[in-house]
Amino acid sequence: MKSIAKRKKSGGRKKKAPARATTRRSKKIIKARVIRTVRQMPLLSYEDILLRSIIGTEDGHKVAESAALFSSVLSNLSEGMRDLHYKSGMPIGRALYRLYEKDRKYEWYEESVHDLVSFLERAGYKRVTYNVSPGRIEISIHNKDSMQLGTNMHGFEAGIMSGFLTAARMRLVHVNEELCCENGSEFCRFVTSDQYEPGSIDPQIVEKFFGYVNGRVRETGRQRAEDMKIPEEYYLLASLMLMHKDYSSEIGQIMVSMGRRLAANMKMTRSNIENAMWLLGLGDARITSLKPLRGSISYSRLRAREEFLGMSIPFLDGLLSGAVGKGSRVEVVAAANANRYNVKLTEKKAINRR
């Protein structure tokens, strides 16, 4: 009876829910829809992020051309590593084709070559030309800075071209670098083929490359700025094989050895150490003192990855091995902020425990 009486008193109408409660329910519904949409979105891999950045950004951070070449030198230490470097470019090329294909519909696979050339130009290679004929595609890069290393150095680029054209043609297409400006030619020429046929490796490739680096470490800041040509993202793409977790231990040992080999013929000054790290793309070093050693090295957000630090820090250990006094070691302390990852370097006397 009480409930009937109350209803009559209010005119037989139910009370409206408060507006605040309705707003809360709407927010919950919207939040649930957003979460569901986000979960349905495909997660971008590190490679996809780098590729999209190269295609869509004109004025990103640049590294020296010698940094990208250093990745090629490391990948030419053996025939097995060279083959892995070529094969590591193939999935990058396939992913690149898929990105371009979303906005374009190619009637013939040869039409896609223009976009491949456009990507190479965005990756820092200027004056790229191409020629398409029945059964053969030829791509040439004309303005690379020459450094006589006695070896065709662009297996990774050949792998990207192979992966891209394979995806476009829907059957395996290999690409060989027939001529290389680092091997006596005025330009680099890449040609499609039925099989991969890399050239020989000069056994003195490391000594020749470090000879070039030693000649550059004394350059001024202005000369350094003029040499910044390669997008950081492309440099990292070319280094992915070296950062693979399956090879981290071996690559770390190789990098220590590389650092020692460079230090053997380099005058150990603060500016030379800083310039060497910059020329090789291994971080922005600031050495404040050599005796005792103090300084820091910073990395951009893209390079602040455990795998990349596993290359950079061992190389620095090898490079500084001659600068650190006997019975001392370099203490490494890391700290991160919003935009950079910083590593502090301090020479410490080893503690003798008896």
User: What length does the chain have?
Assistant: 354
Architecture of domain 41-209+231-241: 2-Layer Sandwich (3.30)
Nearest alpha carbon to residue 266 among 202, 221, 328, 218: 218
pLDDT of residue 247: 87
pLDDT of residue 211: 93
pTM score: 0.82
Mean pLDDT for all residues in the chain? 84
pLDDT of residue 95: 95
Nearest alpha carbon to residue 240 among 93, 343, 120: 93
Q: List pLDDT tens digits, range 325-345.
A: 666 666 777 776 667 888 888
| Every domain of the chain and the residues it spans | 41-209+231-241, 243-354
Quick one: pLDDT band at residue 25, thresholds 50, 70, 90? low
* Mean pLDDT within 206-217: 92
CA-CA distance, 307 to 240, in Å (whole number)?
Answer: 9
CATH number of 243-354: 3.30.1380.20
Quick one: pLDDT band at residue 28, thresholds 50, 70, 90? low
pLDDT higher at 271 or 22: 271
Q: List pLDDT tens digits, range 227-265.
A: 678 999 999 999 999 998 888 899 999 999 999 999 998
Quick one: pLDDT band at residue 144, thresholds 50, 70, 90? low
Phi, psi (degrees; rounded to nearest 5) at 235: -60, -40
- Taking the alpha carbons at both ends of the chain, their separation in whole angstroms is 93
Q: List pLDDT tens digits, range 287-328.
A: 999 888 889 999 998 898 889 999 999 999 899 887 776 666
41-209+231-241 and 243-354 agree in CATH topology:
yes
